[in-house]
Structure 1
């Protein structure tokens, strides 16, 4: 079987050697897909680091490297999905062989074959089969930690912390600006937990009319009010699973005391009912402002905040993790190339500079929409300044060629080529735009 596994791989794209502690001693990749945006010094940066630190989406309990070292035998896996250290989703076939000398395991060699492109051809939608069974997607929560794309160390630490508390019964509060991926984290926590096969119920508190809030959250019994029927609330619907309350600071202040009691007692009483029903629900909440500000503005009771934030996770806005911007650009271009049947190769240097300077008030969601919008106006090649959405141009003060003080050809160095003139013009546009945007 072992030799059949070797033959089934045909070739390898990457080789990694680790010592008995999982520390990377050598790493090389031969596939151009891996190397198109990488330099030798970037690969050197992972040497002497633990491979789980470099690839945090890999679960230690399912790692072929750890298994091979522990069992002292070769391990083959047909497909493994993970996020590489550049934030790119990758799917590989792996053959891991222990290095043994005088009966002692010194480390392991892992041979990998990239099958991501093969899977894309087979399936129009890229769907990774997680190696980690705890990442199984439940019937209502779609996302797992493998869907979180980041190379920012703070965000990678958030992922590690979220995995650590996934099975805890403690309440979790996630806060961050709109578009930072709060629900992505919430669903990932649910799908990583032992509740993954139980209900996942999500409700945006800001979307509920105040007069219906109590009924929807706690349920009702027939006759409680005109038109009332026997109906379970969100707590009962989520029994055994996870209840996610987004924008919890939008919940009416008078109902927060009732929510606090439910959290303390683990029992819920429907509107108009005398009977209490026991519920087993993991509560995860989110808000888009700092908790201290929500308390100060009396949007949330202080005692409820402490009950909800046993574990709290802050998600950084995009402007505080700009190293993620090139990763997202690459990811979204590939995504919409597939959807739009195009072959856009990237963004121009000027656009990338602008993206890195822009503050992104809408965060990752805004960047995604900008990429999608721009790609509608590009037939081939790169996204240029002229392809950006009008609203973004207005925000940064970009008003077109007229911004260059009505320059004519004679204003430029006649020794410059046309491409150099265009590049210089675009650069001046960016500088003016950024000055206007502050």
Structure 2
């Protein structure tokens, strides 16, 4: 099959959708400008290559729309799947394919048109993938006690302080508190208190009525944007002392003044704050106002790090797999024993957020039905070598909740559970007996 003539190339390059043409051997003969922009591969990269070498999609080997069109001499419409770009980014596309014939009616190849669905998927994830209270599941006793009191806290107007390490889900809890509150029909606004210089942070929080002479143009502040709803002040320990005094005034009087204005505005918001630092310790050092501390910790929720709730790891993996399978159009069933052993014994300095990132990366790399050790990050594999060398797998005694979680994960298969901990069935039985799980 010859290359398209110059006029056809001009037409194809004017089309907003990606378009490529293959011959009967599935080699690309034409690759339009939109296809180049979506995939990152140039016309020179693509022409002459098999299409699966360029698209590296999850359907290339078992549900390729071009192959299906060629073999069935039919058209395939609106097939959704993900491709891997030149820089290894996953891009969701919607593709259609049709057969091409010569003047004698002989099949000479096929054409596929495809559209980047990234924006649509991002909007869908924004709408459907928000964590809600029903997503907050745990086998950890401390977490379960927190879930029990969460609805009552959410229904109040009390200011809440969320304490916990980075990645423990403070932002998720803040959002859930809003969604379960009487203010849930109004906006939820979030402001990271360490993300901006002091003058810009003040403008972002309180708003600006006129140009303040420092180059800060008029803007609506977060207090106004969150009117009637919830304002989440993330990492409040980083709030400068001068702004702490102003925030204390807002919390006490429920009024504030935008920058450049003397007219007070009503602060009709519910405040939720978070910190990974000990605010009491900072107050002792004079780095955090004690009166503000008393105002924001009317209710304090301590979020434990993931290393203290290892029994939740299998449950969280299942939740993340279900979500990412839906997002990326994959069908990964789970994690094999060796990989789960590694995940159960890793220390997670980044907590739940780090586990989520590990699962997402592994799922994207996995072309099997189960995630294996080869799909996990290199630092986890290195951690496995250290643990095996020191024998810590066998020294560590799991909690009752961890044992229950793994027994449920493997449908009561004690051999699989023993493999995760790197012990024999006898040792596992002793652990189960100690926790009353042998009946």
Report the CA distance between 1:178 and its aligned residue: 1.2
Give the match for residue 355 of structure 1: 343
Report the CA distance between 1:333 and its aligned residue: 2.3
Give the match for residue 219 of structure 1: 207
Give the match for residue 93 of structure 2: none
Give, in whole Å, the separation in 2 of the partners of 1:322 and 1:298. Answer: 36
Which entry has the higher C-alpha Rg, 1 or 2? 2
Given candidates 132, 135, 140, the residue that maps to 1:147 is 135
- Structure 1 spans left out of the alignment, 5+ residues: 1-123, 128-136, 404-422, 429-438
Report the CA distance between 1:363 and its aligned residue: 0.9
Q: Are 1:343 and 1:380, in contact at CA under 8 Å, matched by a contact in 2?
A: no
Give the match for residue 195 of structure 1: 183
Give the match for residue 363 of structure 2: 375
Give the match for residue 155 of structure 2: 167
Give, in whole Å, the separation in 1 of the partners of 2:324 and 2:209. Answer: 48
Report matched runs for 1:27-426 at 5 Å: 142-296=130-284, 298-394=286-382, 396=383, 398=385
Deviations 1:136-176 (A, max 9, x none): x9x99944211223222211221222210212222110011
Secondary structure at the counterpart of residue 202 of structure 1? strand
TM-score by length of 2: 0.56
Q: Are 2:342 and 2:384, in contact at CA under 8 Å, matched by a contact in 1?
A: no
Secondary structure at the counterpart of residue 243 of structure 1? strand
Q: Are 1:141 and 1:200, in contact at CA under 8 Å, matched by a contact in 2?
A: no
Report the CA distance between 1:271 and its aligned residue: 1.7
Q: 1:141 to 1:239 in 2, by over 3 A?
A: farther
Q: Are 1:148 and 1:184, in contact at CA under 8 Å, matched by a contact in 2?
A: no
Secondary structure at the counterpart of residue 194 of structure 2? helix
Give the match for residue 90 of structure 2: none
Report the CA distance between 1:347 and its aligned residue: 1.9
Report the CA distance between 1:235 and its aligned residue: 1.2
Report the CA distance between 1:212 and its aligned residue: 0.9
RMSD: 3.4
Q: How many residues align?
A: 276
- Structure 2 spans left out of the alignment, 5+ residues: 1-120, 391-417, 424-439
Deviations 1:105-156 (A, max 9, x none): xxxxxxxxxxxxxxxxxxx99x9xxxxxxxxx9x999442112232222112
Give, in whole Å, the separation in 2 of the partners of 1:140 and 1:228. Answer: 36
Q: 1:161 to 1:427 in 2, by over 3 A?
A: closer
Give, in whole Å, the separation in 2 of the partners of 1:141 and 1:291. Answer: 32
Give, in whole Å, the separation in 1 of the partners of 2:366 and 2:294. Answer: 50
Give, in whole Å, the separation in 2 of the partners of 1:338 and 1:273. Answer: 49
Q: Are 1:250 and 1:299, in contact at CA under 8 Å, matched by a contact in 2?
A: no
TM-score by length of 1: 0.56
Deviations 1:41-70 (A, max 9, x none): xxxxxxxxxxxxxxxxxxxxxxxxxxxxxx
Report the CA distance between 1:226 and its aligned residue: 4.7
Report the CA distance between 1:228 and its aligned residue: 4.8
Secondary structure at the counterpart of residue 183 of structure 2? coil
Report the CA distance between 1:339 and its aligned residue: 3.4
Report the CA distance between 1:281 and its aligned residue: 1.2
Deviations 1:50-96 (A, max 9, x none): xxxxxxxxxxxxxxxxxxxxxxxxxxxxxxxxxxxxxxxxxxxxxxx
Q: Are 1:141 and 1:191, in contact at CA under 8 Å, matched by a contact in 2?
A: no
Give, in whole Å, the separation in 1 of the partners of 2:303 and 2:184. Answer: 23
Q: 1:156 to 1:397 in 2, by over 3 A?
A: closer
